[in-house]
Amino acid sequence: MADQRTDGLYAGIRQKFGQQGAGANGYQMSAFFRREQALLYSFLRPNDFPLLDVACGSGLMLTPSVGNGAEVVGVDFNQQACVDARNNGLKVLRGDAFDLPFADQTMAQVVNCQFLNQQSAADTQRFISEVARVLKPGGQLVLFWRHADSVFHRLAGTLVRASERMSGAPVFPQFTHPMAEIETLMTASGLVVVERAVSVPFGYPRRLRPSRFSARVIGASLVLVAERPAERGGSDQ
């Protein structure tokens, strides 16, 4: 399964950053992680559960929702990630992102952050289809992935990869997924895109419209929010 192919690459990273380090969740800087976390929460419905984080890593992205009886759960294939996520207060299952351990139409919201750039177009389609399967009618998916074509990301990526080669760090597969490609895959899975945005690593606001020139220059992550349409004549609960 594709989720297993990159699993071994994370071992050294988790040892380096530990369960509280944003680097174990794919972020070079904690400040940028907090910016993206705040942006994610601007899209989430605060009282709509269950809330699922697929490929949750150390579980840090959803820790603000943990507690007070909220049904928040994570899934990750990496065993150490599951241990770290539990230590951070998240209920977590070890499982494959392409074969989620949940019944059909059981999740009100699903989030996934910085996962698609390690997946091919075919595996991305499998992933989105699987998320669509577990979403309730009216449920939403919030998806973040690297804006690989922005000037900022190209420069930062070049520097990071050079540093990784010099230090002997594992080289992760990198796939570029334009927003239009992911929208097409979502539509093919029966989802409807309702929000589009590009995050920025500094300054205000935290997000830009994808069509803006500044988004193509300093864009950090592409963001899509999609919904599974509510069933006609029925309840979305």
Which burial class, exposed, middle or buried, applies to 15 when counting CB atoms under 10 A from its CB (0-12, 13-18, 19+)?
Answer: exposed
Q: Could you tell me the two tokens for 62?
A: 């959803």
Q: Angle at Cα 235 formed by Cα 230 and Cα 236, nearest 5°?
A: 45
Residues 168, 170: Cα–Cα separation, whole Å: 7
Let me know if residue 237 belongs to a domain: no
Considering only CA atoms, which of 164, 47, 34 is closest in space to residue 25?
Answer: 34
Residue 20: give its domain's CATH number: 3.40.50.150
Let me know if residue 15 belongs to a domain: yes
The sign of the dihedral angle between the CA atoms of 48, 49, 53, 57 is positive
Give the pLDDT of residue 28. Answer: 64
Give the pLDDT of residue 11. Answer: 61
- Tell me the whole-structure pTM to 2 decimals: 0.86
Let me know if residue 235 belongs to a domain: no
Residues 82, 232: Cα–Cα separation, whole Å: 38
Q: Could you tell me the two tokens for 49?
A: 């559960």
Let me know if residue 146 belongs to a domain: yes
Let me know if residue 234 belongs to a domain: no
Let me know if residue 236 belongs to a domain: no
The sign of the dihedral angle between the CA atoms of 95, 177, 33, 193 is negative
Give the range of the structural domain holding residue 96, as residue numbers without chain letter: 2-227
Residues 180, 204: Cα–Cα separation, whole Å: 25
Side-chain half-sphere exposure of 40, counting CA atoms within 13 A:
26
Domain count, the chain: 1
The tens place of each residue's pLDDT in the chain, 237 residues long, gives 556 666 666 666 656 555 555 655 667 678 889 999 999 999 999 999 999 999 998 999 999 999 878 999 999 998 888 999 999 999 999 999 999 999 999 999 999 999 999 899 999 999 999 999 999 999 999 999 999 888 876 776 666 666 667 766 666 678 899 999 999 999 999 999 999 999 998 887 889 999 999 998 999 999 999 999 997 765 444
Let me know if residue 233 belongs to a domain: no
Let me know if residue 116 belongs to a domain: yes
